[in-house]
């Protein structure tokens, strides 16, 4: 699932869950739920050289940053760091998966089970239906965020 959609879910949750601990749990969980919905997926780079080449990933990251920082600022919401926190934890499983390709870090043994879960729940479909489904999901997340944000202004 695109980072932008995960980030939008994170800020939508942040508007509703003001306690950081619940927000962290819900945002992290939302990632796994969204990954189980039909989506087209960009390939996470397998090495640093491919990471720095211009590709879909950078457009997705730029849009995710816009969603995370510009939308709460646009609505002049209080406690904007909660929205950043929500987006961060909603995106974190992909960040961990990416880091796992470069860093061998498995101190408690949970690591393999988590990556098996994250990899196993993906419902990847072809580009057109996958993108359309994600745009619909993104629209719903942005609607939920904006609906709450307008009440909080
Ligand atoms: Zn993921």
pLDDT number for residue 102: 74
| Cα(151) to centroid(ligand 1), Å | 31
pLDDT number for residue 41: 83
Tell me the whole-structure pTM to 2 decimals. Answer: 0.90
| Cα(36) to centroid(ligand 1), Å | 9
Taking CA atoms, 4 is separated from 11, 59, 60, 105, 129, in Å, by 11, 9, 6, 27, 17
| Cα(99) to centroid(ligand 1), Å | 13
* Separation CA 133–CA 36 (nearest Å): 12
pLDDT in tens, the chain (153 residues): 999 999 999 999 999 998 999 999 999 999 999 999 999 887 666 666 666 666 778 889 999 999 999 999 999 999 999 999 999 999 999 988 888 777 776 766 777 888 889 999 999 999 899 999 999 999 999 999 999 999 986
Which H or E run includes 102? none
């Amino acid at each position: 699932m695109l980072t932008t959609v995960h980030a939008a879910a994170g800020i939508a949750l942040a508007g509703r869950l003001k306690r950081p601990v619940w927000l962290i749990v819900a945002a992290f969980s939302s990632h796994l739920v969204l990954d189980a919905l039909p989506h087209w997926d960009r390939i996470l780079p397998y090495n640093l050289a491919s990471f720095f080449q211009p590709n879909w990933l950078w457009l997705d990251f730029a849009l995710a940053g816009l969603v995370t920082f510009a939308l709460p600022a646009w609505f002049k919401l209080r406690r904007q760091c909660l929205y950043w926190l929500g987006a961060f934890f909603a995106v974190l499983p992909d960040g961990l998966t990416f880091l796992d390709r470069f860093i061998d870090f498995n101190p408690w043994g949970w690591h393999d089970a988590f990556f098996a879960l994250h990899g196993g729940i993906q419902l990847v479909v072809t580009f057109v239906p996958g993108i359309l489904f994600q745009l619909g999901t993104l629209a719903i997340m942005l609607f939920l965020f904006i609906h709450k944000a307008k009440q909080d202004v």
